């Protein structure tokens, strides 16, 4: 799983499912620009693996695609320590237990980091073999900037 860092950015998604790939594509691009002390990982969103990535660091920033009815490319920020994620917003997971469950499992097991921020990028297509939709592709740069701000604030 890579070495445990003080701060970890986790991109979640499925690379073959159109906008569902957004978390992982963001991680690919952020990896080159991440400041020292920040570990960037990407994963498929299965809860037990996610739990491993969430636990054991002080601060995590998670980026995932969402499907909530908002406009494609809409970026939303959630503080998962303050309250559970709205489950319906993360309906894109193809796993039996996904991101919202992984966070609640971490909370139940007392393994939730002190800071756990989730960025959700609204997708429009989750079809196998389809490309990223333009609005979501555009949202990647904006989200990277937001995540880097988040990281800088925390690092200070």
Partner 1 sequence: MARKTIKVDYLARVEGEGALTVVVRDGKVRETQLRIFEPPRFFEAFLRGRAYTEAPDITARICGICPVAYQMSSVNAMEDAFGVTVDGPLRELRRLIYCGEWIESHTLHIYMLHAPDFLGYEGAIDLARDHPDIVKRGLALKKTGNALMTLTGGREVHPINVRVGGFYKAPRKRDLVAMADEVKRARDMALETVRWTAGFDFPDGERDYEFVALTHPHEYPFNEGRIVSNKGLDISVRDYNDHFVESHVAHSHALHAHIRQRGAYLVGPLARFALSFEKLSPLAREVATEAGIAPVCRNPYQSIVVRAVEVLYSCDEALRIIENYEEPDRPFVPVEPRAAIGHGASEAPRGMLYHRYRLDDDGTILEAQIVPPTSQNQPSVEEDLKVLIDGWLDLPDDELRHRCEQTVRNYDPCISCATHFLDLRIDRG
Interface with partner 1 (CB under 8 A): 14-16, 43-49, 51-52, 91, 94-97, 101, 104-105, 108-110, 128-129
DSSP 132: P
In the bound state with partner 1, the residue whose beta carbon lies nearer, of 109 and 145, is 109
Measure the N-to-C terminal CA separation of the chain; round to a whole number of Å.
26
In the bound state with partner 1, the residue whose beta carbon lies nearer, of 43 and 143, is 43
User: Shortest CA distance to 113 belongs to which of 23, 44, 43, 39?
Assistant: 39
In the bound state with partner 1, the residue whose beta carbon lies nearer, of 75 and 97, is 97
Measured CA distances, 122 to 15, 22, 87, 145, 152 (Å): 16, 10, 14, 17, 25
CB of 22 to partner 1, least distance (A): 17
CB of 124 to partner 1, least distance (A): 16
In the bound state with partner 1, the residue whose beta carbon lies nearer, of 28 and 44, is 44
In sequence order, the β-bridge partners of residue 115 are 59
CB of 80 to partner 1, least distance (A): 14
């Amino acid at each position: 799983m890579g070495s445990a860092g003080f701060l970890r950015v986790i991109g979640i998604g499925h690379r073959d499912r159109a906008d569902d790939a957004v978390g992982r594509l963001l991680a690919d691009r952020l990896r080159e620009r991440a400041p020292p002390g920040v570990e960037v990982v990407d994963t498929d969103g299965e809860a037990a693996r996610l739990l491993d990535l969430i636990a054991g660091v002080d601060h995590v920033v998670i980026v995932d695609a969402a499907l909530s009815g908002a406009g494609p490319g809409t970026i939303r920020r959630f503080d998962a320590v303050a309250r559970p994620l709205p489950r319906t917003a993360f309906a894109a997971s193809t796993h039996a237990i996904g991101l919202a469950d992984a966070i609640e499992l971490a909370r139940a097991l007392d393994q939730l980091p002190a800071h756990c921020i989730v960025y959700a990028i609204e997708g429009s297509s989750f079809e196998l073999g389809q490309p990223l939709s333009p609005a979501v592709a555009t949202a990647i740069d904006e989200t990277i900037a937001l995540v880097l701000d988040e990281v800088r604030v925390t690092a200070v």
